[in-house]
Amino acid sequence: MVHRGYARAAAFVAIAAASVILAAYGGPSTTHASAAKGPVRISLWESHSPGGPPGKSMVALVNLFNRTHRGIQVELTVTKASHKLLGAFAAGDAPVLAEVSHYDAAFITAHAIKSWNPYLSGAGGMSAVERGAIFPVTWTNGQVNGQHWRLQANVKVSQLSYNIGLFRKAGISSPPATWAQLAADVAILHKRLPAVVPLAWKDSSAHILPPFLSNGGTLFAPGSHEKKANFVTPAAVETFTFFRRLYANHQMIFAHGSEIRADFAAGKLAIADGTSAGYQKLLDAVAGRFQIGVIPFPAGSTGHTANLAQGLGFVLVAHHTPAQYRAAATFVQWWFSAQPQAYWGSRSGYPPESKLALSAMPSGYLRRYPGISVAVRILESPYTVARPVATAYKEVQGSLDAAFFNAVTGKASVMSALRSLETQANAYLSGSSAL
């Protein structure tokens, strides 16, 4: 008994000591056995939840690709890609392909990711037809100075869903097409259906910038080369004041996506702000108990609607072999072709990224699912822009969310919120807030 105890203790101590010695020597040298015979293996890290429609579609498509491309094996890992990627870079263990939201300029300056351009053009590259069919805003989403650093794996836009039954009950025949009509409609809803919340909005930049743009706002000060924001403007004042008035009149609330969907599904919310990616979840929550209408954001004082396209994109991670990059490019080109896009556009809850998919999708699908067809319409619009990729723009978005919330809920005046937002945003954009 006692001796076995010794042995166990000794074994443990030995293992622990060995671990430390290994750590001290920087670990065993790793061998990347990719040049060997057999298919080219490329690792792909992505972070869609595997139980949901996007995750399932991703797995199905990767499996289909592997079956139809004998020379290439895509190895899919579902993980928290953004966490894992930083550790993987430091360890020298990064995958060939990763799906990241918003690449950061830090990746480029560190030469951690590679441009897609050399692998998409020339012989074996993307055909002009395939390339031209991709919605322009999707194709340019991860583009900087002519180089494509990030190719959209999925795309989402902001849109409004409304409860058709509640609209009828309030005597409103058609959904709003302008912000002024929206204000009139929520006033009617509030008056005629006092137990219902007329409108729920998100305090998130993807839902603040579109109305701002539709009122004539610009993302950056003209001529500032994305180094200065442009928030102390009539467009911003008009946008902030609009929502501030709705909030003061108890015609709108702020909420997060999951709560908005829950309130909406319970029949207690008339108009839900959301994204095309949340549409499928909204359908699930409502489960056919009432009809859901979907509309793009209303038109602003410019006379047109505006939107922001965003989503996860494929990046090529540095320090792999040319053969692996070519294989990755083959996969991504296949991704943008008609059949996979039709599958993705009709199974994942996301709209397709290429027009080629529209005719290949199951007939009637777009008619049955207005959330997807509206998203496609928004993607085709010339007034839909890619989410900015300037360094530190994410921090600017955070400040925008806060300023909007404070101004709309009356914590601060519109002017003072916008002024402090501009100061903050300029500090971030000028690069003085981080190295």
Partner 1 sequence: MISSRAAFLRSFTRAMHGPRSIGATLREALLGYGLVMPSALIFLVFYYAPAAFLAYISFFHWNLFVNGNQFVGLRNFEILANQPLFWRSLFNTAYYVVVLVPTTTLLALAFALLLREMPNLRSGGLSRALIFLPHVTPVVATSIIWVWIFNPNFGLANAILGFLHLPQLNWLQSVTWALPSVMIYTLWHSVGLYTVLFLAGLASIPKNVLEAASVDGGHGWFAFRRVVWPMLGPVTFFVIVLVSVNTIQTFSQIYTLTGGPSSLAGGPAFATTTDSLLIYQTAFLYQHFSLASAMSLVLFVLTLALTLIQKLLADRIVFYR
Partner 2 sequence: MRAPLTLILRAVIGMAWIFPVYWLIVVATGARGSAYSIPPVFVPLFHFLPVASVLAHTHLLQHVLNSVIVTTSTIVLVLFTGALGGYALSEVRFPGRSLYFLLALGVMMLPQQALMVPQYVVLYHLRMLNTYAAMIIPFATSTSSIFLFRQFFMRLPTSYRDIASVEGVSTARYLWRVALPLARPAVAATVLLTFISSWNMFQWPLVMISSKSIQPLEVSLTFYMQAFEGHWRQLASVALLALLPVIGVFALTQRYIVSAVAGGELAQKE
- Contact between 12 and partner 2 by CB under 8 A: the answer reads yes
Residue 83 tokens, joined: 């966490």
Q: Using CA atoms, how far apart are residues 93 and 86, in angstroms rounded to an integer?
A: 10
- Told to check if 364 binds partner 2 by CB under 8 A, we report no
Report if residue 414 touches partner 2, rule: CB under 8 A: no
- C-alpha distances in angstroms, 297 versus 134, 166, 288, 383? 23, 19, 24, 12
For residue 249, state whether it binds partner 2 (rule: CB under 8 A).
no
Q: What is the CA radius of gyration of the chain?
A: 25
The reply on whether position 11 binds partner 2 by CB under 8 A is: no
Q: Could you tell me the smallest distance in angstroms from the CB atom of residue 242 to partner 1?
A: 19
Strands 292-295 and 269-275: unpaired
Nearer to partner 1, 373 or 433 (CB): 433
Beta carbon nearer to partner 1, 137 or 412: 412
- Alpha-carbon span 337 to 353, nearest angstrom: 10
Query: C-beta of 264: minimal distance to partner 2 in Å?
Result: 10
Instruction: In whole angstroms, give the CA distance from residue 264 to residue 411.
Output: 27
Whose tokens are 């949340």? That residue is: 278
Q: Hey, what's the torsion of the CAs at 130, 144, 107, 224, to 10 degrees?
A: -160
Please choose which of partner 1, partner 2, none residue 27 contacts, taking the beta carbon within 5 to 8 angstroms, the exact cut-off set by kind. Answer: partner 2
Secondary structure (DSSP) of 107-174: HHHTT-EE-SHHHHSSTTS--HHHHHHB-HHHHTTEEETTEEEEEESS-B-EEEEEEHHHHHHTT--S
CB-CB contact of 229 with 422 (8 Å) = yes
Minimum CB distance to partner 1, residue 80 (Å): 8
* Cβ-based nearer residue to partner 1, 78 or 180: 78
Nearer to partner 1 by C-beta: 9 or 129? 9
When the beta carbons of 153 and 421 are compared against partner 2, the nearer one is 153
Using the contact rule CB under 8 A, the part of the chain among 122-130, 230-238, 247-255, 263-271 near partner 2 is 263-271
CB of 255 vs partner 2, minimal distance in Å = 13
Nearest approach in angstroms of CB 418 to partner 1 is: 14
Task: Give residue 221's identity as a one-letter amino acid code.
Answer: A
Is 287 among the residues that bind partner 2 (CB under 8 A)?
A: yes
Q: What is the DSSP letter of 358?
A: H
**Residue 288 makes contact with partner 2 by CB under 8 A:** no
Helix 53-68 with 338-347: angle, nearest 10 deg: 160
Rounded least distance, CB 272 to partner 2, Å:
12
Residues between 78 and 107 that touch partner 2 (CB under 8 A): 78-80, 83-84, 86-88, 90-93
Residues at the interface with partner 1 (CB under 8 A): 6-7, 9-14, 16-17, 19-20, 23, 82-83, 86, 89-90, 92, 104, 106-107, 109-110, 112, 197, 202-204, 253-259, 262-263, 266, 268, 392, 394-395, 397-398, 401-403, 405-406, 409, 411, 424, 432-435
365 binds, among partner 2, partner 1, none (CB under 5 to 8 A by kind): none
Q: Is 236 helix (H, G, I), strand (E, B) or coil?
A: helix
Task: Work out how close the CB of 39 gets to partner 1 at its nearest, in angstroms, rounded to a whole number.
Answer: 29
DSSP state of 45: E
The answer to whether 63 and 95 have CB atoms below 8 angstroms apart is no
- Contacts with partner 2 by CB under 8 A lie at 1-2, 5-6, 9, 12, 19, 22-23, 26-28, 49-52, 55, 77-80, 83-84, 86-88, 90-93, 258, 261-263, 265-266, 268, 280-285, 287
